[in-house]
Chain A
């Protein structure tokens, strides 16, 4: 029987080899110990020896081909074999080039994950409790979201659960802990998360960035815990636009930067907040804080979300200062170069989607602030003037979303009225 010759394993790490050169031809006599071929392994080119005497009957792998260890590469006829004796199984095809081999091993996209059948627990993963407290709570039916933690860092520990009644409302922590945190950034504990439609083969599942996660947590907390109401007013933007053209014409001549409609709106908001300081305020749980300083958060769209850098101590700022500061903050917000103190501590927020052509909208309150102003685009539309005539006007719609705990309807209306006055008669801002 002829003897099949296989690609040898020539080193401890070799899994495939390239046949560099055959040292024997078909028909050559071979003696044990003769070099049959040169094989390139992962380490080097090495010689492949014959272990038996005979005649090289067939060669299956040509020079330059790469095959796996153990694959048949030739057939050795032993002394006494007849030419027709070849009983060799068909050798397998050589390993293809590595790139193709790699692509063929890529697994098909995973089937969509089944929608979880177990409902997501309402008491979210954000409750900080020790493993022991969790175990006892589960056994006793204690809702951990209603238990105040007395352990280090407010962690719910065994004794808190033991003292809590099943389903009881939150008791005050046993130990005086840190003062109650403002609502800012604290997510609602009992938001039922509705499972998304599972991702299909062509869909992309994007992991949450830190910013996305913060936006999600804060806005869920705001929308589900802050009692929102909304006011809307349409104002005449023509005087503001006229003023802007006038200023920018001079600015251009003198080489200074142009100001935007938003800069002027900001100036007007600051003036209005000065007149109605109760809107420049926050809900503090057991009190309302009315801020002396106006720190205006300005929403800036950035890649993957938005940030609200703060125009600090805005009350005394000139239009030029406002324009430059906002421009600088927005630029650095987009390049993620803001320092934390530059986007924290705002007292009122302004969001302007006018540049996208949005005419009106209502933003979600940015807690713990009491209100947020939504500024739409200045659009031309027919208006009835004081003389009862229909004329072309430049109109802008302003929306105010309020935390009803701090701002009532009349107060919000008062603020919008003042704001309208400043926008429609910008000269008043000089007073």
Chain B
């Protein structure tokens, strides 16, 4: 059709070139559509008032809007108080302030006064640059990762999954962990950092030796896997070393962490820990070995069947009992373990969905080329499956991000926990205090979650077109 159109217009152009007097060489300006069909009126006719039922619906909708919108806008903007020193700024005459008795709107100076606590928690003032640096690294690493046209994806991922977690751990906590050793009996050598590294070397040697022996026993080439094991242990060693080095940073207890930063820490750590666990579980669930798949199914269904809050209760109240005498976990770490286990089960189902979507030919093809199980998973199946499930992963992350608010119930001062804590400050206590802070909190969460869900939809469309 369009081809034909362009053809005829070409003909006309040629005809125009001949300059025949009775042939117009200009297009006639199209007439405006009738008022009832075009423009706003026409649009309204088709979309709002096309029938009696439709008109009634429109009126109901407009009435609902009338009920909701002006009140909300007044509450948030027009009637709200924007500056003040303490609760008197937002108090009505009955409460000792100067606002009219029926005043009810947001009290923003309270949020402004508490802004730092809401974002950073009780992190010491002079150390805030460390948090800011971590946030900067996080967004600087994340944004190019999300935009598909930016090159160096591989380096970017290594930065985000390798360097960033270690750096942010050291920056946020102050690093300088004291390792005492774990392998040799204490009688042989007193616990110290030196003993830890000797222990670590011995452990690495044992692991590399085991890999070598196993490869020899199965007649495979033992060198590369052993090298791989050695490199992995070396990398882990470097990570541990960095964590234990004293950079001269003031240590900051996790009980001083809080606010939105803690929400981010929990959500990001949770998802980063859940991804590898989830992949393993998904592989396990699809495994042909009955013990492995049974274990994976039980594990996944267990965590998916219980509410997160009971998991958090368990990790905060029961986990200490399961650990050997003398080993305790930090409160935040306990919550993190709970969150990571919980989300790994959901992640496993997302990844499994992706693996099921890979055509069977891919599996057979991988086998036909002579790849073993791990090779075919690593090189053929997972790269494709993980790419398909990026939207699913983002959605899981959104869920996890929202669910981090539950840690406030077990007493961690995350964003919501900090907000609830601020309500006990009598210098800002007014009837509108709670609602103001919740609206602020809801706005921030909405901003992040809506943004992520848009991104997930965008990725879905992008991936869709590339596969069709």
Partners in one complex: no
Chain A: residues with CB nearer than 8 A to chain B? none
